[in-house]
Amino acid sequence: MQKIILFIYCLTIGCISGQSLTGIIIIPNAITLGAGTSLKLKAIGVYSNNTSQDISGTVIWSSATASVATVSNVNGKNGFVTAISIGNAQISASMGMITNSAMITVVSDEDHDGLADVSDNCQFIYNPSQVDMDDDGIGDDCDCNNNAANPGDFFATSPSIYLIPANAQPGTASFFYSIIKEGNNHGNPSQFNPNYQWYKNGNPVGTNSEVYIDNMLNTADSVYLKISSGAACVAGNDTSNSILISSTLSVNNDQLLKEVIFPNPVQDKIYLKNILNIEAVHLFDTSGRLIKTAAINQNSIDITHLPKGNYVLKIVTDKKIIETKIIKN
């Protein structure tokens, strides 16, 4: 009788190797999208043995306000949210009696470049100039090839990674999941096929996969993800946030940052000094929107044109990611 009850329970709620589903985590659980843009959410199932897996394709997705944002249950596009009009929409993922939700805030201009995202040629990147040298509808700031028209190409920017469970302890199985914003994909995310390269302490690890599982993490280990060109073109910010395995340590050292990144506060230019093997330099606003990408051979970043406020500077080297808050006066 117990086996029959467990079988029915697993059919209804979901099991992995005899483990029952105890919760659903949606990533991201809160995000801002520009009207006319889209993002594929993921539903991560958490099980009674503290393991997890992506169950986006088996949950039932729903939107509480379809006039603001819709979500797909179509095979291959499960969890694909399309922002329709300005407002808020609660997106839910359910399996049996277990459910969870994420909040989608839809605005006109997500990247704050003064252009409605529905007509912005770089929807996720601040590019008020809208320069498009090859006239293919993809702005040069997010175009892989500015010398030839390539309207069918795609770009990804600002990949994000999430550790589930967030309080994973060293020595236990840790699951890292990724989310990628897609642009110029003409509503067809299935065509976007980038390469995923995970890094642990600056060294390549894992396989070409949206998820990375590590059973040998130690305190102070750091993990991040880098996207590269796959079957389609990739441009923009290609490096994710870095997750540090520790509840007390920080990748940043205030005094060190003052010596290598200065001045701060800043009025016009941020200078970089003695930072070796830089692979990428990105500037974000406090909402995580990519504002500017600098050439890796530059020793300064000009932010004269940016409004006053707080920003986040991310410098990616071959060994680590340096992040610090920048104040523009």
In tens, the pLDDT along 207-257 reads: 899 999 998 888 778 899 988 766 556 666 678 888 877 533 333 445 556
CB 35 within 8 A of CB 117: yes
DSSP lists the bridge partners of residue 280 as 316
Domain boundary residue, one of 85, 108, 131: 108
Show the tokens assigned to 47.
């099980």
Number of domains in the chain: 2
282 assigned to some structural domain: yes
165 assigned to some structural domain: no
- Which has more confidence, 108 or 277? 108
CB 161 within 8 A of CB 176: yes
**For residue 9, what pLDDT band results from cuts at 50, 70 and 90?**
very low
Instruction: Report d(CA 172, CA 2) in Å as an integer.
Output: 30
CATH for 298: 2.60.40.3080
Q: What is the pLDDT of residue 249?
A: 30
Q: Which helix (H) or strand (E) holds 9?
A: helix 2-13
**pTM exceeds 0.95, yes or no:** no
Show the tokens assigned to 96.
């049996």
198 assigned to some structural domain: no
Residue 187 Cα distances to 91, 182, 184, angstroms: 19, 9, 8
138 assigned to some structural domain: no
Question: Which residues are CB-neighbours of 1 under 8 A, at least 6 positions away?
Answer: none
Chain center to CA of 283: 15
Q: Where are the beta strands (DSSP E) in 108-263?
A: 155-164, 174-183, 195-200, 203-205, 211-214, 222-228, 243-244, 261-262
Domain boundary residue, one of 62, 80, 108: 108
137 assigned to some structural domain: no
Show the tokens assigned to 262.
């200065």
Per-chain mean pLDDT for the chain: 79
Q: Whose structure tokens read 């117990």?
A: 2
The per-residue pLDDT for range 168-195, each reduced to its tens digit, is 666 678 899 999 876 554 444 445 577 8
Q: Whose structure tokens read 């958490």?
A: 46
Q: What is the pLDDT of residue 105?
A: 92
- Which has more confidence, 129 or 188? 129
Q: Is the pLDDT of residue 205 over 80?
A: yes
Instruction: Report d(CA 301, CA 306) in Å as an integer.
Output: 12
Q: What is the pLDDT of residue 8?
A: 40
CATH for 91: 2.60.40.1080
Collapsing DSSP states into helix, strand and coil, what is residue 135? coil
Q: Is the pLDDT of residue 17 over 60?
A: no
Provide the domain limits for residue 41. 1-108
Q: Which helix (H) or strand (E) holds 13?
A: helix 2-13
Domain boundary residue, one of 108, 138, 157: 108
235 assigned to some structural domain: no
43 assigned to some structural domain: yes
101 assigned to some structural domain: yes
**For residue 71, what pLDDT band results from cuts at 50, 70 and 90?**
very high
Q: What is the pLDDT of residue 188?
A: 46
Average pLDDT over residues 197-201: 92
